[in-house]
Structure 1
Amino acid sequence: MSNHRVVGTSVEEQIRELKDKLARAAHERDEYRKLYELASIELERLRRHIYGQKAEHVDPAQTQLAFDAIVQLLASAGAQPDAGATKPPEAGDGAAPDGISGAPGGGDKGRQVRPHGRQKLPEHLPVERIELLPPEARDERATALVRIGEEVSETLEWRPASFVRLQIVRPKFAVKGEPEQGVTIADIPDSPIPRCLAGPGLLAHVLVSKYADHLPLHRQEKMFERWGLHLSRSTLCGWVAACADKLAPLVGAMANDALSAHCIAIDATGVLVQAKDKCRRGHFWVLVADRDHVLFRFTPHHNQDGPKAFLRGYKGYVQADASNVYEKLFRTEQVTEVGCWAHGRRKFFEAMTSDPQRASAAIGFIQKLYAIDKATRELPPSRRTEQRRTAAEPVLAAFRVWLETEDLLALPRSPIAAAIGYALNQWTALTRFLEDGRLRLDNNRSELELRREAVGRKNWLFVGSKDGAEWNATIVSLIASCALHGIEPWAYLRDALILLRTWPPERVIELAPKSWKQTLENTDARQRLAATPWPRAPAAAPS
């Protein structure tokens, strides 16, 4: 009996050991599978970055196939999306976020077709006539000819930019026979920067070239030398600093006015700040306040203090991604968080390589939301709120059921699990757009504005100092706001620099791009501009 008991015990121990080994092997297999999936995703990102397009293209047929199957399963389970939820998003119907298309070339059907042929030149361009006579009209035979008409062909030509020596002459006068009356002379006109060599037009040109066209000052220095004038980088930098100081109160007034906006979109991007040992890391932030202002800010650190300081006292909607830097803002300020469906879609797109079936189904739900959003875009806000909510709620309900079901089945820590977890964790913020028809589904508008800094960063690589970053944020705020309101930035900055010197500080918000067109119609602004010689400076003749 003892021998049998010993043998039985030995067999049971071996079985337990084998089960433990099997469990460990299964665990290791799962872990290696996760590593394989993550490596596959990183490899696909690298391939797309090097060889392919960065746009998140998805085959609409593949998406619709997976989406239809999910809708049918949900319908049989009792979760009924609206009848339009099974309709495939049509090409060009706005079924994808801005900058994201459902398939290569998928938006061509709804895109406006531009006429082919030679472009008609703008009427505002200066005209130079060059008359070509036939040989018969150049000699004595011309007396026998009668001019009966002409044929005109136009060519677009370039004349190089040029500097102008603007001489402001102030004649002196004295009273005849009364020398005791002294000398009469006009006052020195106010200059945007006292004792500065540059006029407001040149100052505005330097600012626009650096912050709108992304030309660093050392490149501008070389360009000016080719045009026959040496202006050192240190001189140009001094001009930029002085202009930024003059324009800072205007941007500050814009920031205060933005606190009354209905919704503010916020995002951030990194930037290098030059230092002695090595460059430090800083961050540019952008805040898009409705259709009123675009504001840039700089902070040395990417933490929760920045957004809280920018929006202190604001009461309204804040649209942002799910970064933890906004936690203090949403916790302590009286703001309402609005999520970004473009970020959610991107996470499902990143899971396409490891789990295309579920990722395609999720993208199908999101595309349907964008289709509903575009279909109601032209409606007034109140009607849009109602109709968009009516159409989107069934789709969201079906999507929520699908997310909760797949969350139980997805491999932990896998890309699809991360995407599903993001959508579930951010569900309240992601569905906030149902409350108000003025709210957008995504935060793409702030990401697009940040491209100004991202493109510039590829040219100037780093900012020279914290002060340089502040100058950047001030001037780019005005240039971006000009683009928002369809204002030409060079003329705006030139006139704003002229007016700021004598403009009442309590009315400085009137000089913001939001109010600029109306301000120029006011008698006060026209008189102030007419009182200075700068706007009357004649244009340089073509060389």
Structure 2
Amino acid sequence: MKKTRATAIPDDVESLKQQLLEMQTLLQKSQRESLRHQQESERVQKESAHHQREAKRFQQLYNHALEQWQLALRKRFAASSEGHPGQGELFNEVEECLTPSAEEVAADETITYTRKKSRRPSLSAELPREDVVHDIADADKVCDDCGHDLHQMGEEVSEKLEFIPATVKVIRHIRPKYSCRCCEQQATRTTIKIAPAPASLLPKSIATPTLLSQIITAKYQFGLPLYRQEALFKSFGIELHRQTMSRWLIRVSRQLMPLYQRLHALMLERPALWSDDTPVKVLDVDKVQCTMWVYGCGGDKPESLPNNTASPPNIVLYDYQDGRGGIHPNTFLAGYHGLLHVDGYAGYHGTDAMLAGCWAHARRKFIEAKAVQPKGKTGRADQALNLIQKLYGIEKSIRQLSIEDKRAARQAHSAPIMEQLKAWLDKALHQVPPKNAIGKAIGYTLNQWDKLQIYLEHGAAAIDNNRAERAIKPFVIGRKNWLFSNSRSGAQASAMLYSLIETAKANDVPPGVYLTALFEQLPHLTDGESVDHLLPWAIRL
């Protein structure tokens, strides 16, 4: 059988050796080529994996930037949930009322446009009435057909609201002085008698309780800065400079310190409190950020209580501090061991209170995540929001229950939903990037989970900290007008006056009426006398 060249094996040793050397050379060359191809393949795979990682990283950066851009647009241009109109909204509210909605425009395009009839404002029956009779002449009170006299069969009444500008007057306090003529003639020591000066909150000033009440409520309740009040008083022919009013407010606030301290002591006796903070700019304080804290107890309405049981008063206190360190809430709440509703700020961790989380903050994170989802699509944010909405639905249904019944209802209905939500969060945590909107929402909720479920075990607790946010809102709205405080003493005075106004409002007492009564009665307070009868819910108006 003829052997091929590839398989032929020489018979002599030298030829076999030469063939082996050639084959060894070819084998080494083949191995080198194979290794080179393997290395090249590995290099290509590494480069491909690197490019894939870079592409994924840039995609995540793009998605993150897109989310931030969408959230910034939403924050700037979307409708706000604030109950009070912003400064820009005050100038176009008439145009907004006259502009048809999208549904009305669609209806106009398909059928016909029908404007909704505006509701006539109601006039309270408690307002004083003045009757103006518009009668026909006596000569016309005869029948045109038969000439007989007409009798009154009824009347038509229409009401219009008259506005009378504020009346300003000067009250002259006259104190007659009496002396002895006999002593005067004998050139001896003359006896002079005069009635004591009436008690006044600010002696030797022109300020009256009503004037101080007007200035304080105008600034701290309705957000009217002192320079605008100065112009307003000038329109009445009164030269009242803003520096004078500012000094008055600081002096008044110092005299209100006993009431503030009493409110503080009463607050620390309550089983559940809430707190929030907001920055404030103070010109003479060398700090990057000063802070106005707010603390309170109670809700928008007194909680349901057994029959013949008085509702505990609601208290709202502001506390100005030069910074935002945790030492400030620790000092204000020293010795307090009850519940404290807060946001995720770590500064509260040093207090002795039991911290309860805020589901409104967690829900807000998922709402932001939903805002950046593709329109018309349902995502993970919707799943979380559906479960959170169920928790709020349960709270709405048990609002009027007692503390014990609230706890039982939460254990029976809210706890299973919380377990379902926790399982979903744990699973979704590993399926989404941690830096995008939904990842941040999930991470925040899990980090706050222990505090978020505190309300299940305590009937006195609330599901969120919205009461604190509503309490701090008047200060935030006022800050848009007056922008900053000139001094630390001015910021502290603002904290004092905001506290009394918001506490009065929380107990359904008109702040202006309360402050007027307070400034009339406070000067008669003796040293060491209790101030309980001057608190908003106890004062004689």
TM-score by length of 1: 0.77
Number of residue pairs matched by the alignment: 453
Q: Which of residues 295, 302, 305 is equivalent to 1:287?
A: 295
Give the equivalent residue in structure 1 for 2:308. none
Q: Is the 8 A contact 2:320 2:495 kept in 1?
A: yes
Q: Which of residues 334, 345, 353 is equivalent to 1:312?
A: 334
Q: Is the 8 A contact 2:268 2:333 kept in 1?
A: yes
Q: Give the match's secondary structure for 2:382.
A: helix
User: Runs of 5+ in structure 1 lacking a partner?
Assistant: 57-103, 106-114, 521-525, 527-543
Distance change >3 Å, CA 280–CA 236, structure 1 → 2: farther
Residue identity opposite 1:155 in structure 2: K
Give the equivalent residue in structure 1 for 2:257. 248
Give the equivalent residue in structure 2 for 1:69. none
CA deviation digits over 1:506-540, x for unaligned, max 9?
51243222x32xx42xxxxx8xxxxxxxxxxxxxx
Which segment drifts farther, 267-276 or 223-232? 267-276
Deviation, structure 1 residue 223: 0.3
Deviation, structure 1 residue 477: 0.6
Distance change >3 Å, CA 224–CA 351, structure 1 → 2: same
Deviation, structure 1 residue 128: 3.3
Give the equivalent residue in structure 2 for 1:482. 504
Q: Is the 8 A contact 1:317 1:337 kept in 2?
A: yes
TM-score by length of 2: 0.77
Distance in 1 between the 2:394 and 2:156 partners?
53
Distance in 1 between the 2:336 and 2:139 partners?
76
Q: 1:138-157, aligned counterparts within 5 Å?
A: 148=152, 151-157=156-162
Q: Which of residues 64, 67, 72 is equivalent to 1:41?
A: 67
Distance in 2 between the 1:16 and 1:412 partners?
31
Q: Give the match's secondary structure for 1:187.
A: coil
Is 1:433 aligned to 2:455, yes or no? yes
CA deviation digits over 1:318-344, x for unaligned, max 9?
111111222323xxx2x1110111111
Give the equivalent residue in structure 2 for 1:260. 269
Q: Percent identity?
A: 30
Q: 1:458-537, aligned counterparts within 5 Å?
A: 458-504=480-526, 505-513=528-536, 515-516=537-538, 519-520=539-540
Misfit runs of 4+, over 6 Å: 144-147, 174-181
Q: Is the 8 A contact 1:254 1:509 kept in 2?
A: no
Q: Is the 8 A contact 1:37 1:354 kept in 2?
A: no
Give the equivalent residue in structure 2 for 1:127. 129
Q: Which of residues 270, 279, 290 is equivalent to 1:270?
A: 279
Q: Give the match's secondary structure for 1:189.
A: coil
Give the equivalent residue in structure 2 for 1:94. none
Give the equivalent residue in structure 2 for 1:167. 172
CA deviation digits over 1:134-190, x for unaligned, max 9?
344799xxxx98985765432101111121111223344579999999454322110
Q: Is the 8 A contact 1:295 1:477 kept in 2?
A: yes
Distance in 1 between the 2:517 and 2:225 partners?
23
Q: 1:323-362, aligned counterparts within 5 Å?
A: 323-329=345-351, 333=352, 335-352=353-370, 353-354=372-373, 356-362=378-384
Distance in 2 between the 1:225 and 1:286 partners?
35
Q: Is the 8 A contact 1:322 1:426 kept in 2?
A: yes
Q: Is the 8 A contact 1:287 1:296 kept in 2?
A: yes
Give the equivalent residue in structure 1 for 2:476. 454
Q: Give the match's secondary structure for 1:283.
A: strand
Q: Give the match's secondary structure for 2:51.
A: helix
Q: Is the 8 A contact 2:359 2:463 kept in 1?
A: yes
Deviation, structure 1 residue 283: 1.3
Give the equivalent residue in structure 2 for 1:417. 439
Q: Which of residues 226, 232, 235 is equivalent to 1:217?
A: 226
Deviation, structure 1 residue 247: 1.3
- CA RMSD of superposed structures (Å): 2.9
Distance in 2 between the 1:243 and 1:389 partners?
49
Higher relative contact order (CA 8 A, sep 6+): 1
Give the equivalent residue in structure 2 for 1:3. 29
Distance in 1 between the 2:501 and 2:445 partners?
35
Give the equivalent residue in structure 2 for 1:236. 245
Give the equivalent residue in structure 1 for 2:417. 395
Q: Is the 8 A contact 1:162 1:227 kept in 2?
A: no
Q: Give the match's secondary structure for 1:384.
A: helix
Deviation, structure 1 residue 390: 0.6
Give the equivalent residue in structure 2 for 1:23. 49
Deviation, structure 1 residue 250: 1.1
Q: Give the match's secondary structure for 1:273.
A: coil
Larger Rg: 2
Residue identity opposite 2:233 in structure 1: F
Deviation, structure 1 residue 487: 0.4
Give the equivalent residue in structure 1 for 2:8. none
CA deviation digits over 1:412-450, x for unaligned, max 9?
322212211111121111011111222111111111111
User: Runs of 5+ in structure 2 lacking a partner?
Assistant: 1-26, 83-101, 104-116, 142-147, 300-313
CA deviation digits over 1:112-148, x for unaligned, max 9?
xxx9854442233333343444344799xxxx98985
Give the equivalent residue in structure 2 for 1:76. none
